[in-house]
Amino acid sequence: MSVTPPTGWRERAQRAVVRGARVDALIPAFLLDSSFSRVGCWWGTSVGWVWGSLWSTGRVERRAGLWVFAGMPNWTFGRGGVCVGGCFLTGDAQVSDAVLRHEAVHARQWRRYGFLMPILYLLAGRNPLTNRFEILAGLEDGNYIR
C-alpha cells in the first residue's frame, strides 16, 4: 500500500544509495555481474521455484522476464510480494505492469549480486524509503509512495 512519504525522504534515500555504492566498492569484482553471481541468481530462482510451487494456488506465468507465482498465502512472502532470483512470489492481488517493472529490477539485482543479494538486502534494512534496492527499483512502481 503506497503512502505519502515523510518530509526529507528524498535526501535520506539518496544517502542510502550513496552508502550502498560505497559497500559495492568493497566487494571483490569477481563476485559482481560474474559467473559466480549468475550461479547465485540461479540458486535464488531455484529456491523461488520450489517455494512458489509448494504454496502457489494461483496461476504461474512468465511476465516481464519473471516467473510470477500468484495466489501465495500472505505469510509466505513479505509486503506485496517478493522477488527471489527470477521469481516473483505474490498473493491474490492483480499484478500491475508497474510492479513487474519494479520486480524486474530486483531480478537484475539478483543477477548482479547473486548469493550476496539476500545478505545485502537484509543489511539495507526493512524501510523501503532507505533500502537502496527498493529505491533503485523505483519506489512508486513498487507501490511504496504515491
pLDDT bin (cut points 50, 70, 90) of residue 4 is confident
What confidence score (pLDDT) does residue 43 get? 98
Using one digit for the tens of pLDDT, what is the confidence trace for 86-131?
A: 999 999 999 999 999 999 999 999 999 999 999 999 999 999 999 9
Neighbours of 145 (CB within 10 A): 16
Crossing angle of helices 9-26/117-124, nearest 10°? 140
- Spell out the domain ranges in the chain: 9-137
**Distance between CA atoms of residues 82 and 85, nearest Å:** 10
Q: What does DSSP assign to residue 4?
A: P
**Distance between CA atoms of residues 115 and 113, nearest Å:** 6
Rounded average pLDDT over 47-60: 97
Q: H or E segment at 105?
A: helix 97-113
Whether 4 contacts 143, CB under 8 Å: no
